């Protein structure tokens, strides 16, 4: 007998022993079959107990067969068998204690009633223990699969970061070195190479953040919102010098998140600027605090989002060959925000007063990120 068979054989053995005891009980004390006797209350409960005993026999035997065929690790099968045994022994001990008290008090129930109580109580406890063990094994098995998936995500993440990303950086470096040695058509071609390479690098970085979120179930912790917003707004101003990005965040506001909160704001800010056709895109970041939540609003003066697409923008897109890496930004933000227990939604923007010659037509979008306060 192998270790994988041991747990199931133990449950099957318990079921066969219980079946033998039940058959002995029926042979010794008989079974109520007379319809007139079944009409009485005591006889009804006796028949009910016999039905429970039969169900316990079926449950233990079926449980042993199921455990033998189940795709569970050996230790999980043994743990299930131990739960079943604990239920049998524990319930038997409780019944023995109760019957001892009855005897000490001078109460002497009929012998067949005492045996019946042992059979019903211990069998019910055994089946209950088996069910608890099966549920426990299923939970442990699910955790094992999730852990294996996380390990796979970590491996893929490391591969993307250390091989693909580093390889693309080498391509960019050599492109700069070769630019000076090419003919007149070289600059245009090198610009295409750089654009495509930058897009691949951006895609790898986005996927890497997503893989990190899926692979590492880090506990949420208090994060100072003002510092994160200020850092990401400054970074966005550097990437998009033509854009006007204003931010107003109150001090001492903390939310429940992790180190990836900056990636959420980075993707939202990038989306607000890149999809704005104005020569000077305008973005405003504001924060609204409530007793239990904090809402970060990122408003832009772009063309806006139609109502029928306000939820679709948070789904992963299917870009064409010239849009490598696009369509993941808001999806990534949505995945991270939901992991924090928050929400993100797109709404229409109210009009602004503009000082430039390009009048505000009242269009635009506001992305609202609501998080729990720490």
pTM: 0.52
Alpha helices (H) along the chain: 3-29, 35-38, 41-69, 74-104, 111-159, 166-179, 186-215, 225-239, 261-274, 329-339
Which residues lie closer than 8 Å to 261 by C-beta, 6 or more apart? 223, 228, 255, 336, 340
Q: What is the pLDDT of residue 253?
A: 92
SS3 185: coil
Burial class (CB in 10 A: 0-12, 13-18, 19+), 136: middle
CB 297 within 8 A of CB 350: no
Alpha helices (H) along 160-259: 166-179, 186-215, 225-239
Q: Which two tokens stand for residue 130?
A: 């088996």
Q: What is the pLDDT of residue 36?
A: 42
SS3 223: strand
Partners of 368 in beta bridges: 297, 345
Which residues lie closer than 8 Å to 246 by C-beta, 6 or more apart? 282, 283, 284, 285
Q: What is the pLDDT of residue 296?
A: 95
Burial class (CB in 10 A: 0-12, 13-18, 19+), 51: exposed
Q: Could you give the C-alpha distances from 364 to 333, 343, 352, 360, 361, in angstroms and in order?
A: 19, 20, 10, 9, 9
Place of tokens 């991270």: 336
Q: In the chain, what is the greatest distance between 2 CA atoms, to the nearest angstrom?
A: 112
Q: Which two tokens stand for residue 166?
A: 């580093």
Nearest CA to 87 out of 137, 144, 133 is that of 133
Residues in the chain: 374
β 221-224/254-257 pair status: antiparallel
- Give the DSSP letter string of 66-95: HHHHS---HHHHHHHHHHHHHHHHHHHHHH
pLDDT along the chain (374 residues), means of 10: 68 84 78 46 65 82 81 79 85 82 73 77 84 81 68 60 65 68 62 67 66 66 92 90 90 88 90 88 93 94 87 70 54 86 89 50 83 92
């Amino acid at each position: 007998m192998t270790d994988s068979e041991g747990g199931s054989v133990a449950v099957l053995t318990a079921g066969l022993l219980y079946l033998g005891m039940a058959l002995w009980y029926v042979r010794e004390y008989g079974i109520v079959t007379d319809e007139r006797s079944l009409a009485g209350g005591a006889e009804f409960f006796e028949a009910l107990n016999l039905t429970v005993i039969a169900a316990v026999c079926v449950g233990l035997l079926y449980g042993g067969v199921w455990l033998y065929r189940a795709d569970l690790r050996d230790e999980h099968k043994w743990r299930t068998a131990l739960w079943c045994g604990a239920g049998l022994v524990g319930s038997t001990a409780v019944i023995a204690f109760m019957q001892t008290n009855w005897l000490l008090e001078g109460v002497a129930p009929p012998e067949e009633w005492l045996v019946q109580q042992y059979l019903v109580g211990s069998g019910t406890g055994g089946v209950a223990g088996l069910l608890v063990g099966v549920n426990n094994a299923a939970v442990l098995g699910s955790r094992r699969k999730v852990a294996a998936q996380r390990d796979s995500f970590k491996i893929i993440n490391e591969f993307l970061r250390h091989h693909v990303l580093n390889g693309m950086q080498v391509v960019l470096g050599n492109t700069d070195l070769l630019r000076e040695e090419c003919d007149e058509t070289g600059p245009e071609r090198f610009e295409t190479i750089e654009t495509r390479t930058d897009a691949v690098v951006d895609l790898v970085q986005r996927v890497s953040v997503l893989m990190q979120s899926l692979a590492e179930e880090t506990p949420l912790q208090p994060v100072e919102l003002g510092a994160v917003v200020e850092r990401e707004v400054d970074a966005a101003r550097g990437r998009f010098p033509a854009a006007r990005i204003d931010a107003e965040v109150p001090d001492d506001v903390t939310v429940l998140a992790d180190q990836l909160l900056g990636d959420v704001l980075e993707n939202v800010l990038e989306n607000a600027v890149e999809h704005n056709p104005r020569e000077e895109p305008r973005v405003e970041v504001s924060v609204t605090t409530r007793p239990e939540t904090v809402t970060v609003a990122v408003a832009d003066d772009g063309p806006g989002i139609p109502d029928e697409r306000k939820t679709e923008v948070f789904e992963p897109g299917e870009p064409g060959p010239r849009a490598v890496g696009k369509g993941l930004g808001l999806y990534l933000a949505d995945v991270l925000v939901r992991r924090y227990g928050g929400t993100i939604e797109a709404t229409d923007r109210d009009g602004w007063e503009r000082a430039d010659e390009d009048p505000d037509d009242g269009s635009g979008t506001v992305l609202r990120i609501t998080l729990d306060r720490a």
